[in-house]
């Protein structure tokens, strides 16, 4: 494909299980890429589906296969609802990340469900999806994938930080894009907020009410991952194995959230040279207490865009990854993932 205007949907489901982000966007390729977000929704998961996705890491192969088919149908319903609600037509493609169940690049394995060919038939649209598997097969981390979008759509900023289930940082160094997961964020904060009856820590109110436990903070900051060099990425498996067992040494839930919020700020600040522009998106950008904590630890110039971009940047960039696949252009950078080479990743399904 070589036409320059792309009318597409981008779809993202993150590890924090907030819901399915769907964005209707136009991507335009002239001298540089530009975009417009027309409509966007985050469709929360039904309680049963959310619980299944949370538990799926313990499932056997048969149970995962069943969930994959069920989730594909569930995703198709949400996509059809979005298209019908906003009366969208003439789509070039629906570009979908799917939902990560397993991410074990050290074992050359990653799985995002909802990427079955059946999806194209159920929504009667061309689908571009399953962007991580090829990268892992090429000895890459399969993550993060967003940095190609940071380069092409948000390249005017020195650093791009996404505060989602995990914190991911992206920047240019010696004419290469460098990116990696810094630490878990909402996948941990939301876990403990639920114990206090909330889906997430609104504005960081729980953290503000708690007290940082310095001994536990030191243990968190000493985890081996933080001393590894990039490329590197994190998954839920790592959180379960390392983070929760440390945090559960603290009795009060607000103290846990306060301690972990401080840990996030410390780890992010360690990655930032002074005075650079830092463009922050993802749900954590609404956590004002976390941002205040980060400002105490860094002199980077923090830039928070409009909510439309904060909430939909990942869906927007997966739309871009899909378009790059259709154009047969590289959408995975070896400098980011550690793969053997840059490559054009993803599967294309037609109805």
pLDDT confidence of residue 15: 82
Q: ω into residue 253 within 30 of 0, thus cis?
A: no
Q: Are residues 49 and 119 in the same domain?
A: yes
Residues 297 and 272 in one domain: yes
Same domain? For 183 and 277 the reply is yes
Tell me: pLDDT of 24 over 80.
yes
Give the DSSP letter string of 236-273: HHHIIIIIHHHHTT-S-HHHHHHHHHHHHHHHHHTT--
Strands 5-13 and 93-104: parallel
Count: domains in the chain? 2
Q: List the beta bridge partners of residue 161.
A: 169, 280
- The answer to whether 285 and 304 are in contact (CB under 8 A) is yes
pLDDT of residue 56 exceeding 90, the answer is yes
In a shared domain, residues 99 and 240: no
Q: What is the pLDDT of residues 65-94, one digit of tens each?
A: 999 999 999 999 999 999 999 999 999 999
Is 245 domain-assigned? yes
237 in a domain, yes or no? yes
Residues 214 and 300 in one domain: yes
Asked if 269 and 219 count as a contact pair (C-beta separation under 8 A), the reply is no
- Domain containing residue 106: 5-143+318-349
Does 234 lie in the same domain as 281? Answer: yes
**Averaged pLDDT for residues 173-187:** 95
Question: Does any domain span residue 313?
Answer: no
Predicted local confidence at residue 298, as pLDDT: 97
SS3 label, residue 328: coil
For residue range 106-146, list pLDDT tens digits in order: 999 999 999 999 999 999 999 999 999 999 999 999 988 99
Query: What percent of the chain lies above the pLDDT cut of 90?
Result: 95
Per-residue pLDDT of 320-341, as tens digits, reads 999 999 999 999 999 999 999 9
Q: Which residues contact 45 (CB under 8 A, 6 or more apart)?
A: 17, 19, 20, 53
Does residue 231 have a cis bond before it (omega within 30 degrees)? yes
Same domain, 340 and 227: no
Does residue 206 share a domain with residue 292? yes
Same domain, 112 and 24: yes
Mean residue pLDDT across the chain: 96
Tell me the pLDDT tens digit for each residue of 202-219.
Answer: 999 999 999 999 999 999
Dist CA 327 CA 321 (whole Å): 10
Nearby residues of 75 by Cβ (< 8 Å), 6 or more positions away: 11, 20, 96, 98, 114, 119
Same domain, 166 and 295: yes
Please state, in angstroms and rounded to a whole number, the distance separating the CA atoms of residues 128 and 326.
8
Q: Does residue 312 sit within a domain?
A: no
Statement to judge: residues 248 and 286 lie in one domain: yes
CATH of the domain at 128: 3.30.420.40
222 and 258 both lie in a single domain: yes
Q: Does any domain span residue 11? A: yes
């Amino acid at each position: 494909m070589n036409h320059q205007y792309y009318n597409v949907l981008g779809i993202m489901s993150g590890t924090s299980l907030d819901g399915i982000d769907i964005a209707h966007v136009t991507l335009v390729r002239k001298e540089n890429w530009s975009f417009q977000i027309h409509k966007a929704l985050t469709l929360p998961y039904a309680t049963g589906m959310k619980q299944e996705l949370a538990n799926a890491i313990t499932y056997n192969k048969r149970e995962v296969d069943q969930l994959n088919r069920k989730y594909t149908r569930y995703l198709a319903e949400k996509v059809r609802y979005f298209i019908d609600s906003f009366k969208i037509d003439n789509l070039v493609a629906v570009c979908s990340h799917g939902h990560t169940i397993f991410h074990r690049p050290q074992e050359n394995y990653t799985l995002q469900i909802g990427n079955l060919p059946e999806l194209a038939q159920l929504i009667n649209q061309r689908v571009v999806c399953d962007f991580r598997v090829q990268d892992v097969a090429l000895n890459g981390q399969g993550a993060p994938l967003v940095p190609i979008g940071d380069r092409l759509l948000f390249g005017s900023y020195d650093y791009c930080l996404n505060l989602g289930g995990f914190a991911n940082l992206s920047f240019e160094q010696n004419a290469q894009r460098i990116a990696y997961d810094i630490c878990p964020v909402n996948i941990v904060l939301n876990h403990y907020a639920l114990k206090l009856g909330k889906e997430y820590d609104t504005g960081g109110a729980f953290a503000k009410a708690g007290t940082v436990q310095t001994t536990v903070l030191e243990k968190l900051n000493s985890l081996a991952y933080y001393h590894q060099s990039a490329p590197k990425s994190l998954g839920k498996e790592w959180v379960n194995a390392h983070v929760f067992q440390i945090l559960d040494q603290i009795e009060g839930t607000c103290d846990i959230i306060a301690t972990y919020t401080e840990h996030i700020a410390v780890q992010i600040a360690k990655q930032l040279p002074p005075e650079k522009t830092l463009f922050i998106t993802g749900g954590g950008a609404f956590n004002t207490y976390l941002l205040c904590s980060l400002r105490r630890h860094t002199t980077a110039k923090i830039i928070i865009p409009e909510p439309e971009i904060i909430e939909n940047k990942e869906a927007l960039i997966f739309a871009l990854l899909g378009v790059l696949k259709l154009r047969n252009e590289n959408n995975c950078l070896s400098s980011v993932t550690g793969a053997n080479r840059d490559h054009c990743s993803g599967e294309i399904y037609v109805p």
